[in-house]
Structure 1
Amino acid sequence: MRFGRTALIILTVFSTFSVINAETFEEYMKSQMDEFQQFKDERDKEFTAFLKEMWIRVETEEPIKQIDEPKPIKMPVAPPHVEKAPVPVVKPTPPKPIVVPEPAKPTPPAPPAPVVPAKPEPPVVKPEPKPDAPIAKPEPAPQPYVAVVPQPVPVPVPAPVVAAPPAIKGRPLEFVFFGSAIKVGYDTKLQLGAEAPLNGKKLGEFWEKAALSDYEPLMNNLLKYRKELKMTDWGFILLVSETAGKIAADRNGKVLLTWFILSKAGYETRTAYDKDSVYLLVPASTKLYGVSFFTLDDKRYYAVSADGFINNLGSVYTYEKSYPKADRSMDFRMADYPDLGRKVSERDLSFSYGGQTFNIKVPYNMNDIIYLKYHPQTDVNLYAEAGLPDWAGKPLLTQLAPIIKGKTDEEAVNILLKFVQTAFKYATDDQQFGREKFLFAMETIYYPYSDCEDRSILFTYLVKNLLNLDAVFLDYPGHIAAAVAFKTNVKGDSVTFEGKRYTVTDPTYINATIGMTMPQFAKNVPKVVKF
């Protein structure tokens, strides 16, 4: 009885302690949340006051050019060299089977004469006839050889990528983002704008009103989509900008809401304004070309936009102090393509080598093409890192592999050179786009024209994936070529880089084989760019 009473007392004390502990924990968590909210409120209050007062005037600098000198308008053509015909791709005809006639069955011996003379003689058993020997058909006349390239494996066209819908809070918003369905919710307090003429006070008030809204559910859902769609920082800018454009009251509000969400997500951003417009500026982990920028504290802030390039910003107003805890620079490298919805088409390419013509079909995704249209321009080696996604690269590699099968590395590289040199039409970026634009490999497949760096990017992808050979870029004034490190010494022009010999391979110099430098650059020492 005493034991039972003691146990009851212990259980009662424990239960009481648990209740007190749970209540204490809830109070503790509430105090922590209140403290965090107070911190956020104070942080935003301080930053708002700063924005309303501390704007400075800066002069943006001229955009940096990717190519210093004008590119050749027309590519020279090298004298044709003797091309060995590739190993036929057609499957060898199996030898005709030798038909051996079956031996005739032996005639069974006649049975002995019957003992009973009254019965008739047994019937004569005739031997089975021998099978006729097969009639040999005359061999057909030889037909002219036509190289048959294996057709690419059909590319399945999946339905648009639909990420798992996040928990929606606020007014629902649904739209299609490069083939992917996006579903988010937002606080209607974010429906803000900024009418001209602009000043620092208006921009400070925008931040103040946005900070008082329930913006976090929207921001967190956009971050989830960024991860699920495997997008780079550029993709996140596009997603936030597209979302902001459907919420904000005007174009200036769209840019300011993008700036606000990116800052809250931890990115170091700036906004700048002139009399009529506001602009988004970000620091980048790599050098960007073709866009205006200004420098603060030895750091460049580039004017980026989802709607095109801003290359003549001029004089603007901005601020020096970053939003607290927002210190992440934009990374515009693209090691792989995003997982966007696929709108797949094919391009027919053809080239001739060794007297044979080869037809190649290569798929591309139109959603990727649009996604990359205004991708910030950066160094050539970063385009090579992206290569092609497997679903597009494998059909191309599968068709080229049999053509170079059985060839030496040198002859295989010459075949790949001829493919890139002649399967694509040449035009400078100024002629095609009105501006400099380095192309990712998929863009080279899609656009009707390409120039030197575009072809070098695609060519090095093929060399690495089909032959497993190391390659680099050669940066000449106004021209970019490639060079390959062969396993044996080969004749021709070359450069030495990091203790290895790289032989010149120019995928733009038509008919040029390994070791041939474009004549107008023969006296230049190129800059070697590794990736």
Structure 2
Amino acid sequence: MVVHCCQGCTTFYNFERTTGFLSISDILKKASDMNVSRKLLVLLLSLLPVALSAQNDDSETSNSDFDEFRNSILGGFNSSRSQIMDDYDNFRSQMMKDYVEFVRQAWSEFNVEPTLPVPEEKPVPPVVMPDEERDEQPDERPLLVDEIIAPLPFTPQPRPVVEIDEIPTLHEEYVYFTFFGTDAKVRFPVSDKVIVKGSDENSVADAIETMTSRKYDNTLFDCLMLRKELKLSDWAYLQMLGALAEKIYGNDNNSATMMSACLYMQSGYKVRFGENEGKLYMLFACEGYIYNRDSYTVDGCLYYGLEELPVRMHICKASLNKEQELSLVVKGGQRFSYKKSDPRRIASKKYPEIAAEVSVNENLMRFYESYPTSFVGENEMTRWAMYANSELDESVKQALYPKLQAIVKGLSQVEALNRILDFVQTGLVYGYDNEIWGEDRAFFSEESLFYPYCDCEDRSILFSRIVRDLLGLDVALVMVPGHMLVAVNLKEDVQGAYVMLDGRKFVLCEPTCLNGAPVGWADIEDGARLQLYLLERTESQVDYTLEEQPMEVEHSLIPYFDGAKWGYKNNAGEVVVKCEYDSVSDNALYGDRHLYVAKLGSRLYLYDPDGFYICNCDGYVPLDLNRIDGVKSDYYGIFNDDGQWYINDLVFMVPAGMVLLDEYDMESVTYENNIFCRLPAENEFMERFIILKRKSDGKWGVIDIFGKTVLPFEYDRIEFSPYDKSVLLLYNALSGEEHTHKL
């Protein structure tokens, strides 16, 4: 049987008709291995009777074993949907129970491994082009390639060891914390938090058993949502969990360590627990080798710590299915809160018209400061590629690229490349890493624009990023002992030093020539043997000047950054929303209306595709479908996308800014003189109806957008069907019955 789910994935179940039938527990384990969600599992299991009947009909003779198996499946899954959910929960509980029991036993002593130092390279002075060569095109000369480094493997981010579903609760407690200057909040049972009492095997196992229970599912769910919404790398996610645990537990190191480790472990990462002299440690496995960081080898895998580690440690070897190593690849696009740095002017000396004032996000710089340098595989040159393949932050693109692109537009590739090359060569100031940082330190592209000094590797990384983004050319990093430069695959013929890669000519460029040098000039001896790393290409170029922006839709807004604040331009390149916001959305929201959200401080504002402010409210919080949840004159309500009230008799008290809280610090709504807890979540507002739960007796009901009761408040639970959003599932605890209601 093959089932295609709506997300585009395909799940295969192959039932042999003679031997090896799958038991229910086998199916549940298979679902876990494939990261099948509980809702999808219900759908798959509901289709089993159809598939099995079809197989039976195709056979010429009945097979008694098959019939027995089919009957057992039909009997087992003709029970209610909630029973299937319980079975899956029981499977998860059993898996974690087995893991916890293993934790009580699987401990051994390990010695710390020698740290891997950052390679020391003899400082090489920056190159200067002789004056007598400046007016001549470099001679054509091929250079030998000693080694071509294989590209880094692509590894998707880990998924939870078991799919985590959000659990609706009456009283939500939140923890508010900050990481890399970015405010965040997650649900957490602060009043009932577990405290780790000891550091022995049983204390660790007991803590894991509690911290991985359903009580903390919403905490894990919220953390995973933050990872997704903020586009956090594995390293940023690990740092976020550490900040969360520290906010919860303060100076209680052991409890904080266990909480962050349990969250990271359940998120799919390879984690081990360690103990030394009463102190607990979280150890993580990494896809590669980290410089200057203590580690232990456990079952053939290196495990690193977030702090200095003792010479000898008591480590638990227990593992979970499908656990995955942390990747230090940073693709870019991480959405840390924006804190503008002081602007810096960078200009080419030969082409003074190429100049730009650039500010970067200081919170992103804080993340880069925490980032450990590493390499993957057997060649240490891969560490440079990890920096070079990271995308440039969008705010930097908006400040830098329009100016550069406007200058090079219409030029030949060689002319454009020469101008970008001189911008990097003469616009940046050279400095030795050993003198500045005490060791060799690589920069992400934004760091070369932020810090006052950079060396040959940093310049090569920045230059390669700009060339790929603006010119769309293939680029390789070129390494010779003590020095790095760049090779570019031009579509035009140009004379100079070059290398051949996969039958294509790559011309050398020297970003570290302080007085400027043209494409093809390189201070490399003919006999030198080079190492090459072909970088990831930019698949599609963006016209940052917007002079020839194609009209994809009749009306649309394009985010625009003026170096200080964000606004919008239209397709004609005209500023239609002034640059006065901290951030703006780059996607149209709210169905066919294509509305856009801009944020200033804690408030959000809504614009239509023509750049008109569409509602006279004080602020907005975007929700789902065609609704806007907002504040108007200290009242809270739900608006339609024309700024008119959807529900004007549901009045929300707002005691603190945009946050709606009741006396229990819960999001709440008043209706008919009763308080209903929790503002409707995304999956509880469909079309023109809202599901609510009454605080006084815990009963559920449904109202429409005009405040009229659709279903009375007499049900123990109401939720939307996972298969048809126009159907409600109604539960009655006393009778144990489940009914449906068509909206």
**TM-score, length-scaled by structure 1:** 0.69
Q: Kindly indicate whether the alpha-carbon contact (under 8 Å) linking 2:116 and 2:292 is maintained by their aligned counterparts in 1.
A: yes
Secondary structure of the residue that 1:426 maps to in structure 2? coil
Q: Given the superposition, is the C-alpha separation of residues 407 and 518 from structure 1 closer, same or farther in structure 2, using an over 3 Å criterion?
A: same
Q: 1:56 aligns with which of 105, 108, 115?
A: 108
Cα-to-partner distance string for 1:337-375 (whole Å, 9 max, x where unaligned):
212221223532334433847542113111211122212
User: Percent of aligned pairs with the same residue?
Assistant: 25
Q: Aligned residue for 2:218?
A: 217
| C-alpha deviation, 1:330, in angstroms | 2.3
Q: Kindly indicate whether the alpha-carbon contact (under 8 Å) linking 2:120 and 2:440 is maintained by their aligned counterparts in 1.
A: no
- C-alpha separation between the residues in 1 aligned to 2:399 and 2:82? 58
Q: Aligned residue for 2:312?
A: 315
Which structure has the bigger radius of gyration?
1
Q: Aligned residue for 2:269?
A: 267
Structure 2 alignment gaps of length 5 or more: 1-75, 137-167, 375-382, 536-743
1:517 and 2:518 aligned:
no
Aligned length: 417
**Which amino acid is 1:275 matched to?**
E
Q: Given the superposition, is the C-alpha separation of residues 246 and 527 from structure 1 closer, same or farther in structure 2, using an over 3 Å criterion?
A: same
Cα-to-partner distance string for 1:270-289 (whole Å, 9 max, x where unaligned):
23333364433333345544
- 1:73-472 map, 5 Å: 74-80=125-131, 82=134, 170-188=172-190, 189-193=192-196, 198-211=199-212, 214-248=215-249, 250-275=252-277, 277-303=279-305, 305=306, 310=307, 314-323=311-320, 325-354=321-350, 356=352, 359-378=355-374, 379-405=383-409, 407-472=411-476
**Which amino acid is 1:516 matched to?**
W
| C-alpha deviation, 1:261, in angstroms | 1.0
Q: Given the superposition, is the C-alpha separation of residues 260 and 364 from structure 1 closer, same or farther in structure 2, using an over 3 Å criterion?
A: same
- C-alpha separation between the residues in 2 aligned to 1:412 and 1:497? 22
- C-alpha separation between the residues in 2 aligned to 1:39 and 1:356? 67
- C-alpha separation between the residues in 2 aligned to 1:300 and 1:206? 24
Q: Given the superposition, is the C-alpha separation of residues 505 and 320 from structure 1 closer, same or farther in structure 2, using an over 3 Å criterion?
A: same
Q: Given the superposition, is the C-alpha separation of residues 452 and 215 from structure 1 closer, same or farther in structure 2, using an over 3 Å criterion?
A: same
Q: Kindly indicate whether the alpha-carbon contact (under 8 Å) linking 2:487 and 2:509 is maintained by their aligned counterparts in 1.
A: yes
Q: Given the superposition, is the C-alpha separation of residues 78 and 231 from structure 1 closer, same or farther in structure 2, using an over 3 Å criterion?
A: same
| C-alpha deviation, 1:231, in angstroms | 1.7
| C-alpha deviation, 1:402, in angstroms | 4.1
The 10-residue stretch of structure 1 (51-60 or 493-502) with the greater mean CA deviation from structure 2: 51-60
- C-alpha separation between the residues in 2 aligned to 1:497 and 1:65? 31
Q: Given the superposition, is the C-alpha separation of residues 472 and 169 from structure 1 closer, same or farther in structure 2, using an over 3 Å criterion?
A: farther
| C-alpha deviation, 1:496, in angstroms | 1.6
| C-alpha deviation, 1:487, in angstroms | 2.3
**Which amino acid is 1:343 matched to?**
K
Secondary structure of the residue that 2:500 maps to in structure 1? strand
Q: Given the superposition, is the C-alpha separation of residues 442 and 356 from structure 1 closer, same or farther in structure 2, using an over 3 Å criterion?
A: closer
**Which amino acid is 1:255 matched to?**
T
Secondary structure of the residue that 1:413 maps to in structure 2? helix
Cα-to-partner distance string for 1:238-273 (whole Å, 9 max, x where unaligned):
221111111135123222211111112222222333
| C-alpha deviation, 1:459, in angstroms | 0.1
- C-alpha separation between the residues in 1 aligned to 2:171 and 2:439? 43
Q: Given the superposition, is the C-alpha separation of residues 83 and 258 from structure 1 closer, same or farther in structure 2, using an over 3 Å criterion?
A: farther
**Which amino acid is 2:129 matched to?**
A
Cα-to-partner distance string for 1:358-408 (whole Å, 9 max, x where unaligned):
542113111211122212324222322223133321331222234445544
- C-alpha separation between the residues in 2 aligned to 1:168 and 1:342? 34
- C-alpha separation between the residues in 1 aligned to 2:284 and 2:431? 32
Secondary structure of the residue that 2:215 maps to in structure 1? coil
Secondary structure of the residue that 1:460 maps to in structure 2? helix
Q: Which has the higher contact order (CA 8 A, sep 6+)?
A: 1
Q: Kindly indicate whether the alpha-carbon contact (under 8 Å) linking 2:249 and 2:256 is maintained by their aligned counterparts in 1.
A: yes
- C-alpha separation between the residues in 2 aligned to 1:36 and 1:356? 66
| C-alpha deviation, 1:201, in angstroms | 4.2
Q: Aligned residue for 2:50?
A: none
- C-alpha separation between the residues in 2 aligned to 1:252 and 1:331? 25
Q: Kindly indicate whether the alpha-carbon contact (under 8 Å) linking 1:264 and 1:326 is maintained by their aligned counterparts in 2.
A: no
The 10-residue stretch of structure 1 (507-516 or 362-371) with the greater mean CA deviation from structure 2: 507-516
Secondary structure of the residue that 2:360 maps to in structure 1? strand
- C-alpha separation between the residues in 2 aligned to 1:311 and 1:500? 47
| C-alpha deviation, 1:528, in angstroms | 0.7
Q: Kindly indicate whether the alpha-carbon contact (under 8 Å) linking 2:174 and 2:189 is maintained by their aligned counterparts in 1.
A: no
Q: Given the superposition, is the C-alpha separation of residues 434 and 337 from structure 1 closer, same or farther in structure 2, using an over 3 Å criterion?
A: farther
Q: Kindly indicate whether the alpha-carbon contact (under 8 Å) linking 2:294 and 2:309 is maintained by their aligned counterparts in 1.
A: yes
Secondary structure of the residue that 2:304 maps to in structure 1? strand
Q: Kindly indicate whether the alpha-carbon contact (under 8 Å) linking 2:194 and 2:207 is maintained by their aligned counterparts in 1.
A: no
Cα-to-partner distance string for 1:49-71 (whole Å, 9 max, x where unaligned):
332332122234334456x3415
Secondary structure of the residue that 2:425 maps to in structure 1? helix
Secondary structure of the residue that 2:345 maps to in structure 1? strand
Secondary structure of the residue that 1:526 maps to in structure 2? strand
- C-alpha separation between the residues in 2 aligned to 1:431 and 1:167? 56
| C-alpha deviation, 1:453, in angstroms | 1.9
- C-alpha separation between the residues in 2 aligned to 1:525 and 1:333? 28
Q: Aligned residue for 1:501?
A: 505
| C-alpha deviation, 1:183, in angstroms | 2.4
| C-alpha deviation, 1:222, in angstroms | 1.2
CA RMSD of aligned residues (A): 3.3
**Which amino acid is 1:433 matched to?**
W
Q: Given the superposition, is the C-alpha separation of residues 184 and 361 from structure 1 closer, same or farther in structure 2, using an over 3 Å criterion?
A: same
Q: Given the superposition, is the C-alpha separation of residues 443 and 300 from structure 1 closer, same or farther in structure 2, using an over 3 Å criterion?
A: same
- C-alpha separation between the residues in 1 aligned to 2:350 and 2:492? 24
Q: Kindly indicate whether the alpha-carbon contact (under 8 Å) linking 2:351 and 2:422 is maintained by their aligned counterparts in 1.
A: no
**Which amino acid is 1:281 matched to?**
L
**TM-score, length-scaled by structure 2:** 0.51
- C-alpha separation between the residues in 2 aligned to 1:478 and 1:281? 34
- C-alpha separation between the residues in 2 aligned to 1:336 and 1:524? 34
Q: Kindly indicate whether the alpha-carbon contact (under 8 Å) linking 1:248 and 1:257 is maintained by their aligned counterparts in 2.
A: no
- C-alpha separation between the residues in 2 aligned to 1:313 and 1:482? 42
Q: Aligned residue for 2:99?
A: 47
Structure 1 alignment gaps of length 5 or more: 1-23, 85-165
When you count helix as a share of all residues, which structure comes out higher?
1
When you count strand as a share of all residues, which structure comes out higher?
2
Secondary structure of the residue that 1:449 maps to in structure 2? coil
Q: Given the superposition, is the C-alpha separation of residues 359 and 58 from structure 1 closer, same or farther in structure 2, using an over 3 Å criterion?
A: same
Q: Given the superposition, is the C-alpha separation of residues 58 and 387 from structure 1 closer, same or farther in structure 2, using an over 3 Å criterion?
A: same
Secondary structure of the residue that 2:185 maps to in structure 1? strand
**Which amino acid is 2:245 matched to?**
A
